[in-house]
Chains A and B, each alone.
Chain A
Amino acid sequence: MSVPLTLLGLLEREPSHGYDLKRDYDAFFGRGKPLPFGQVYSTLSRLARDGKVVISDVAPGSGPDRKRYVITDVGATEVEQWLTQPVDPEPHLQTVLFAKVVLALMLDRPAAEYLDTQRSAHLHRMRELTEIKRAGNLVDALLADHGLYHLEADLRWIEMTGARLDALRKEVRP
């Protein structure tokens, strides 16, 4: 899971404080692994340093100042590119694909189109592996099969997710 890009995506939805970002991240993407506060603030500092977010205002209080972060055009462009580009088809992608779909729905982006693009990238890789399998020996075939079965699992998830987008949208955009 790309924490910086996911936080950027959450900021594109609306400007937020670090605390709110952590709460939403944990609720939608944490899945039992909450993001440490330290990582939230260090990530936001790096994003600010790189010009992807700016601090809009600071609310003083008895504790640490509450900074409100706003995504910049540079940050929004990065989120857009991340969402529209397919992930390299390799095994164990579920967390990245999952984050993309949920964020796309939150941001009212065309999640179905992103899934189609990802499906196409997966099938392209599967064609390459199938060619390796057909042209190679049994050892090549076994290796190719391992990749093919994992990619096929991703594709099944893509199909199921595609069929559930309307219901998912209601859950992440109440």
Chain B
Amino acid sequence: MSVVLEARDVTFSFGQTPALRGASVAVEAGEILAVMGPSGSGKSTLLHCLAGILVPSSGEVLFDGARVDAMPETQRSSLRRDRFGFVFQFGQLVPELTAVENVALPLLLSGVHRKQALPRAGAWFARLGLDGLEQRRSGELSGGQAQRVALARGLVAEPQVLFADEPTGALDSLTGEHVMDLLVSAAREQGTTVILVTHEARIAAYADREVMVRDGRVNAPDRIAS
């Protein structure tokens, strides 16, 4: 397997407060990597640097060999739109749009015509057990349903990398595990690489391996042979 995404000795500070102090991690294509660590350890900041949302103060971020940290914002924005997908803790669906329009959003933003985008988005509803909810708005969905819609939105454009930041953090255990089960199945089917930030071991156990972020550094335990 080849490395698709890598952070090399990345530092980042919020004002005077350092969040990353030389974090390095490499993710292989198709791998599901759990990034674990206590609150405030820097795991979400690392995810944002890997995704090109934040630009590190020093160090390098490479996606498919290209320096993400050296790209201008417009190029990073295209990368996030066309190659990356995102799922956040609270779904962050657009409340004015229907569920199916929310799922179609990445396609529409990439220039896919609405006539093609909506059926492609609609196909995800059966896949994720959301039949009949296409026309609901986010306020009319349960937490688990909304998060599955967010997951469909993250995967609809078949991104190379899906960034999932505490995707089950707002859900109860059973619903959270259902969402993870769907996330892993869909990612494996599409061959999508997943960076999964979580502080929950039961959620991290869905990944292929885990790294620990502590005090802004990454501690990758030796792999234990299966």
Interface residues of A (CB under 8 A from B): 116-117, 119-124, 126-127, 129-130, 134, 148-149, 151-152, 155-156, 159, 163
Contact = CB atoms under 8 A, between A and B. Distances in A.
Interface in B174-226: 181, 184, 201-202, 204-208, 210, 212, 219, 221-222, 224
Given A116-B219, A156-B201, 7 more contacts: A119-B221, A120-B222, A120-B224, A123-B205, A126-B204, A148-B202, A151-B201
7 contacts: A116-B221, A124-B224, A126-B204, A127-B206, A129-B205, A134-B181, A134-B184
Given A116-B221, A159-B38, A127 B205 contact: yes
A155 B201 CA distance: 8
A129 to B, nearest CB: 7
Contacts of A116: 212, 219, 221
A130 to B, nearest CB: 4
A120 B221 CA distance: 6
Contacts of B219: 116
Contact of B204 (A121, A123, A156, A163): A123
Given A116-B212, A123-B210, A152 B222 contact: no
B215 to A, nearest CB: 11
Contacts, number: 41
A130 B38 CA distance: 22
Contacts of A119: 212, 221
Contact of A130 (B206, B210, B222): B206
Nearest to B219: A116
Contacts of A152: 201-202
Given A116-B212, A163-B38, A123 B222 contact: no
Nearest to A156: B201
Contacts of A151: 201
Given A116-B221, A134-B181, A163-B38, A148 B205 contact: yes
Contacts of B221: 116-117, 119-120
A120 B219 CA distance: 11
A120 B38 CA distance: 16
B130 to A, nearest CB: 20
Given A126-B205, A151-B201, A121 B224 contact: yes
A85 B38 CA distance: 24
Nearest to A148: B202
Contacts of A126: 201-202, 204-205
A125 to B, nearest CB: 9
Contacts of A149: 202
A127 B207 CA distance: 7
A124 B184 CA distance: 17
Contacts of B205: 123, 126-127, 129-130, 148
A141 to B, nearest CB: 9
A23 B224 CA distance: 39
Counting chain B CB atoms within 10 Å of each CB, the highest count among A116, A119, A127, A151 belongs to A127
Nearest 8 pairs of A and B residues by beta carbon: A120-B221, A126-B205, A130-B205, A124-B224, A155-B201, A127-B205, A152-B201, A123-B210
A40 B206 CA distance: 45
Nearest to B222: A120
B161 to A, nearest CB: 21
Contacts of A121: 224
A91 to B, nearest CB: 14
Contacts of A129: 205
B117 to A, nearest CB: 31
Contact of A123 (B181, B184, B201): B201
Contacts of B206: 127, 130
A71 B204 CA distance: 41
